[in-house]
């Protein structure tokens, strides 16, 4: 233990003998902090702008498409049935459609038309 204590004292003495320019380190860290704050502010503003732009450009029918499909599903159920009680295992009359398209507006129109005239 005595040898380890002596080695530790030597290491502490060497560390104290080294002169570190704290002013330069402090200044560099302050610059990094300022740049990080500015970058965070920029990204926060950019995120808010892009969110608002996305909300304004997506068609209204696409916003609430999942809600409309859910409402239509529950409206089409008989009053006495619960969705978990319905057996879809032998539902040969049901048809499923898949739409692969990059055109969101056209897909929205097709889905709206299909759900309207499916009855």
Q: Establish if 89 belongs to a structural domain.
A: no
pLDDT at 89 over 80: no
In a domain, 1, yes or no: no
Q: What is the residue range of 63's domain?
A: 59-77+96-119
Q: Look at residue 4 and tell me if it is in a domain.
A: no
DSSP reduced 3-state for 99: coil
For the full predicted model, state whether its pTM sits above 0.85.
no
CA distance 3 to 7: 6
Answer yes or no: is pLDDT of 116 > 70: yes
For the cut 80, the answer to whether the pLDDT of residue 100 exceeds it is no
Instruction: Give the closest residue to 106 by CA, choosing from 61, 47, 39, 52.
Output: 61
- For the chain, the domain total comes to 2
């Amino acid at each position: 233990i005595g040898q380890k204590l002596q080695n530790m004292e030597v290491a502490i003495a060497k560390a104290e003998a080294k002169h570190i320019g704290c002013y330069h380190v402090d200044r560099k860290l302050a610059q990094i902090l300022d740049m990080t704050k500015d970058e965070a502010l920029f990204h926060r503003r950019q995120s808010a702008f892009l969110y608002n732009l996305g909300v304004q450009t997506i068609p209204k029918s696409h916003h609430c498409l999942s809600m409309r499909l859910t409402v239509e599903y529950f409206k089409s159920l008989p009053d006495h049935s619960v969705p978990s009680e319905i057996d879809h295992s032998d539902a040969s009359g049901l048809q499923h459609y898949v739409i692969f398209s990059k055109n969101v507006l056209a897909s929205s129109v097709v889905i709206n038309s299909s759900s309207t005239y499916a009855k």
